Amino acid sequence: MPTTWILIADAQRARCFERVGATLSPQERADFVAPQRRLPHGRPPDQALADDRKGHGRRAHAGTQFEPQTSEHERERARFAGELADHLNQGIAQGRCDRLALIATAPMLGALRERLSPAATQRLGRTVALDLTHYDGPELQRRIQQALLTHP
């Protein structure tokens, strides 16, 4: 029977479930927390200090200060998506799963897809732009089943 890994993710948390066959309920196999959530106040101390000083001191400009195009939140989401994609890529490469399904917020879904290996992309079945990270137990199981059945 084919094994499917189902990843549920947003920018803060992800959970990977495994389903063997088409009818069995998915069983949780891994839980991930974004790196910025692992630290106090959600960001590294040196970053907090740099943010507090932004635009002040000897280097401050009297006019408009332009921020980089990529926000810290987007960079953290990209790093987390890379960590998750590595896990999925390894699962495919090592033959621990046959198929993948992604259920994630739209920004995370895009970040994940960009980082999947060609082999993992080939095994990718359903992708659903939906946030299920706040559900647990039977309600989560029901929502996973519904998402996989009703979304193309």
Percent of the chain with pLDDT over 70: 75
> 100 has which bridge partners?
5, 124
Residue 35, classified by CB atoms within 10 Å of its CB into exposed (0-12), middle (13-18) or buried (19+), is middle
Phi-psi category of 137—alpha, beta or left, where left has phi over 0 and alpha has psi -120 to 50? left
Strands 124-129 and 99-104: parallel
Residue 133 has a pLDDT of 94
Tens of pLDDT, residue by residue over 92-135, are 999 999 999 999 999 999 999 999 999 999 999 999 999 999 99
Q: List the domain boundaries for the chain.
A: 3-52+70-150
Residue 45 has a pLDDT of 42
Interatomic CA distance for residues 85 and 82, integer angstroms: 5
89 pLDDT higher than 80: yes
Cα-based angle 3, 27, 132 (whole degrees, multiple of 5): 105
Alpha helices (H) along 40-136: 45-53, 72-93, 106-115, 118-122
The highest-level CATH class for domain 3-52+70-150 is: alpha beta
